[in-house]
Copies of this chain bind each other. A is one copy, B any other.
């Protein structure tokens, strides 16, 4: 690509994104370069605006441009039912499926000795605060059906047993070894419907 440093550099940066390789990064850049002003510049500006305005919700850990996020301030939501997920991607997957009308808590990961992720690394403080402030009736653990997910669910269940809240976990439907993000809407709905009380 002959010292075309700006273009080359852009392709290199894009090709590092998950799901893209050098080939699709090149295709994307060539496509955008057909109309640099009309297509590439607006995308760059949108990306800049997003990067500069994104905030982590102090209540639930969701990513949004306002804090608290739009989910936490939506009046029609059932704020007494909190669905605990591992990642923002999992939250988005549940929202796309429209299967949870309560609010969320994004842990930001799972307990994992391998990944060096301990209890203090998980975003649970704002969940406990919400429970202590009263008004939370049920906590649904919607964690992945992985060893780490199960370990985290067990740990969280113990941690929450001191409070007067119903604890449930998503049930049938989450395939063993699978993450929530990527599941079809029906499977997500079934998993929520089949949640089992642990309390």
Contact = CB atoms under 8 A, between A and B. Distances in A.
A54 B36 contact: yes
A88 interface: yes
The secondary-structure label for the interface of chain A is helix
A53 to B, nearest CB: 6
Kindly name the residue among A37, A50, A52, A64 whose own CB sees the greatest number of chain B CB atoms within 10 A: A50
A95 B51 CA distance: 34
Interface of A: 1-7, 9-10, 13-14, 17-20, 23-24, 26-33, 36-37, 40-54, 62-65, 69-71, 74, 87-89, 92, 95-96, 182
B50 A10 contact: yes
Given A47-B47, A52-B36, A64 B4 contact: yes
Given A89-B30, A182-B23, A52 B41 contact: yes
Given A30-B88, A65-B4, A71-B2, A51 B46 contact: no
Given A33-B54, A36-B54, 13 more contacts: A1-B95, A4-B64, A6-B65, A7-B64, A19-B24, A23-B182, A26-B89, A30-B87, A32-B47, A33-B50, A33-B51, A41-B52, A44-B44
Contact of A4 (B33, B44, B70): B70
17 contacts: A2-B64, A2-B70, A6-B46, A6-B65, A7-B63, A14-B43, A17-B27, A17-B32, A18-B24, A18-B28, A19-B20, A20-B28, A26-B92, A30-B89, A41-B48, A44-B45, A45-B48
